[in-house]
């Protein structure tokens, strides 16, 4: 069975602060994908990133960066110099690559509030 | 290009009624997925299609739920004898192929009174 844990239910930061959202996962698969999605107040899930389990390189995209550590089964997401527009619920998710495991297993999400 | 669209955006119905929720995937996407999101929770998988066939329906909660995709494009999620516990946001996603990134629609908010 697959499981994703996002221990932080809610986080509040002041604009321009850096913030890290934690994600820990469990899977018996040796190959899998990890994802982050953003859900703004409008409700639509917006894809942010997908990582293959074989690729442990950290990734940076503008103010966003992701730290994948297989040894600790973690895939953390950092926003640098946060902005009010970053306020949303962020979901970490996991999927397999074999038949019957293509669906996404989501964590419960972390609600980020960026205060001006 | 156009993203995943879902209709209606909101649906209010009475307990015991039948409802249909529609999903129009991104053009050319062969895989289609349905999820359900309850308040304060992450989306939970219901069913996915590869082409016209349901490849995995293990997430459907019971036999009141059924989904079809007759021509391999638009999909309809059907709920019979609705119950108050069915109230949730129903999300549809599509991907170019199985194992590719899933892109989500805006969801249908279902309220069963």
Q: What is the pLDDT of residues A84-100, one digit of tens each?
A: 999 999 999 999 888 77
Inter-chain residue contact B101 with A47, CB threshold 8 Å: yes
DSSP H or E segment with residue A76:
strand A74-79
Query: Could you tell me the two tokens for B3?
Result: 């993203």
* Nearest-angstrom CA–CA distance, A25 and B37: 20
| Residue B6, pLDDT score | 98
Distances (CA, A) of B90 to A50, A104, B66, B93: 23, 15, 13, 10
Segment B33-44 mean pLDDT: 96
Interchain CB distance below 8 Å, A109 and B48: no
Q: How far apart are CA B32 and CA B54, in angstroms?
A: 9
Which own/partner pairs from B60-67 qualify as long-range (CB within 8 Å, at least 24 positions apart)? B67/B34
Q: Could B40 and A108 be called an inter-chain contact, meaning their C-beta atoms sit closer than 8 Å?
A: yes
* CB-based contact A108 B41, cutoff 8 Å: yes
Residue B96 CB neighbour total at 10 angstroms: 14
Kindly report the average pLDDT of chain A as a whole number.
Answer: 95
- B107 close to B90: Cβ distance less than 8 angstroms: yes
Give residues with Cβ within 8 angstroms of A32, minimum separation 6: A2, A53, A94, A95, A96, A97
The pLDDT tens digits of the residues spanning A37-64 come to 999 998 899 999 999 999 888 889 999 9
The alpha carbon of residue B30 is apart from the nearest alpha carbon of chain A, in Å, by 13
Contact A77, A87 (CB under 8 A): no
Q: Is any Cβ of chain B less than 8 angstroms from the Cβ of A24?
A: no
Q: Identify the H or E element spanning B1.
A: none
Confidence at residue B1, expressed as pLDDT on a 0 to 100 scale: 61
The one-character DSSP state at B58 is T
| B54 band by pLDDT with thresholds 50, 70 and 90 | confident
Q: Which one of B41, B98, B103 has the shortest CB-CB distance to A102? A: B98
Q: Tell me, rounded to whole angstroms, the distance of Cα B34 from its chain centroid.
A: 4
Output the CA–CA distances (angstroms, integers) from residue B98 to A55, A103, B76, B107, in the order listed. 20, 9, 19, 21
pLDDT given at position A98 = 80
CB A12 within 8 A of CB A68: no
Q: What is the pLDDT of residue A77?
A: 97
User: What 3-state DSSP class applies to A71?
Assistant: helix
- pLDDT at residue A67, as a whole number: 96
The strand pair at B108-112 and B10-13 is best described as: parallel
Q: Choose the closest CB to B42 out of A42, A97, A108.
A: A108
């Amino acid at each position: 069975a697959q499981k994703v844990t996002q221990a932080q239910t809610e986080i509040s930061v002041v604009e321009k602060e850096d913030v890290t959202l934690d994600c820990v996962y469990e899977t018996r698969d040796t190959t899998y994908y990890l994802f982050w999605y953003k859900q703004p107040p409008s409700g639509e899930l917006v894809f942010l990133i997908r990582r293959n389990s074989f690729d442990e390189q950290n990734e940076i995209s503008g103010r966003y960066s992701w730290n994948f550590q297989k040894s600790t089964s973690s895939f953390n997401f950092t926003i640098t110099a946060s902005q009010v527009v970053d306020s949303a619920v962020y979901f970490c998710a996991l999927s397999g690559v074999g038949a019957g495991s293509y669906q996404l297993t989501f964590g419960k999400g972390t609600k980020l509030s960026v205060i001006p | 290009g156009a993203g995943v669209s879902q209709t209606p955006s909101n649906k209010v119905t009475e307990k015991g009624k039948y409802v249909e929720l529609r999903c129009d995937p991104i053009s050319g996407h062969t895989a289609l997925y349905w999820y359900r999101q309850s308040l304060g929770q992450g989306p939970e998988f219901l069913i996915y299609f590869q082409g016209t066939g349901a490849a995995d329906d293990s997430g459907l909660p019971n036999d009141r739920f059924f989904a079809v995709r007759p021509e391999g494009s638009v999909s309809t999620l059907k709920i019979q004898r609705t119950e108050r516990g069915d109230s949730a946001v129903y999300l549809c996603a599509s991907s170019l192929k199985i194992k590719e990134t899933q892109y989500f629609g805006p969801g249908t908010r279902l309220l069963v009174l």
